[in-house]
C-alpha cells in the first residue's frame, strides 16, 4: 500500500546536525512533490520544506532556510532532510508527506508518515 516511513530522529546538542530519511513505497515516487512538516511538542503544524519530483524545485520556510537542506533519491524512493546548526526550537516531530495535485493547481498532503522525533537539548 501507499506508505511513507520516516527515520533518523534522535537527541542532538544545540549546534549539532542530524539527517532525516523518509522511505516511500506503493506509488511512483518521482511523480510527486514531497514535503517535510514539523510539530513542536503541544503545538501546531509548521510546514518546513518541499521538493519537486525531479528535485529541481525546492522551497524552505524562513525558520530553516540556510540551515536545512532537502533532497531526494528517486532511484531509492527516498526523501532526506539534512539539518545543521540545530536549535532548541527545532525540537519537534518531523513528518514527511506526499503532495497531491488535484485539477490545475490544488495541492494538499494526502499521505503522511508517522513521524520521527527530533530533540535538541544539551
Partner 1 sequence: DIQMTQSPSSLSASVGDRVTITCRASQSISSYLNWYQQKPGKAPKVLIYAASSLQSGVPSRFSGSGSGTDFTLTLSSLQPEDFATYYCQQSITTPYTFGQGTKLEIK
**Smallest gap from residue 50 Cβ to partner 1 (A):** 8
Q: Which is nearer to partner 1, 56 or 75 (CB)?
A: 56
Torsion of CA 50, 90, 112, 55, to 10 degrees: 20
**Smallest distance from the beta carbon of 72 to partner 1, in angstroms?**
18
Binding site for partner 1 (CB under 8 A): 35, 44-47, 50, 59, 61-62, 95, 97, 102-103, 106-110, 112-115
Nearer to partner 1, 42 or 75 (CB): 42
Residue with cell 525540537: 91
- Alpha carbon distances (Å) from 20 to 65, 106, 114: 16, 28, 13
Q: Minimal distance in Å, beta carbon 64 to partner 1?
A: 10
CA distances from 62 to 48, 98, 100 (A): 9, 21, 23
Min separation Cβ 79 and partner 1, Å: 15
Amino acid at each position: 500500500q501507499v506508505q511513507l516511513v520516516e527515520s533518523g530522529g534522535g537527541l542532538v546538542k544545540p549546534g549539532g546536525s542530524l539527517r532525516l530519511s523518509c522511505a516511500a513505497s506503493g506509488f511512483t515516487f518521482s511523480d510527486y512533490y514531497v514535503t517535510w512538516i514539523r510539530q513542536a511538542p503541544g503545538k501546531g503544524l509548521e510546514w518546513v520544506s518541499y521538493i519537486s519530483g525531479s528535485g529541481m524545485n525546492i522551497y524552505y520556510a524562513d525558520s530553516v532556510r540556510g540551515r536545512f537542506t532537502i533532497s531526494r533519491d528517486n532511484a531509492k524512493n527516498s526523501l532526506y532532510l539534512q539539518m545543521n546548526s540545530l536549535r532548541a526550537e527545532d525540537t519537534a516531530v518531523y513528518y514527511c508527506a506526499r503532495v497531491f495535485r488535484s485539477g490545475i493547481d490544488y495541492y494538499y498532503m494526502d499521505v503522511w508518515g508517522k513521524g520521527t522525533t527530533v530533540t535538541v537539548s544539551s
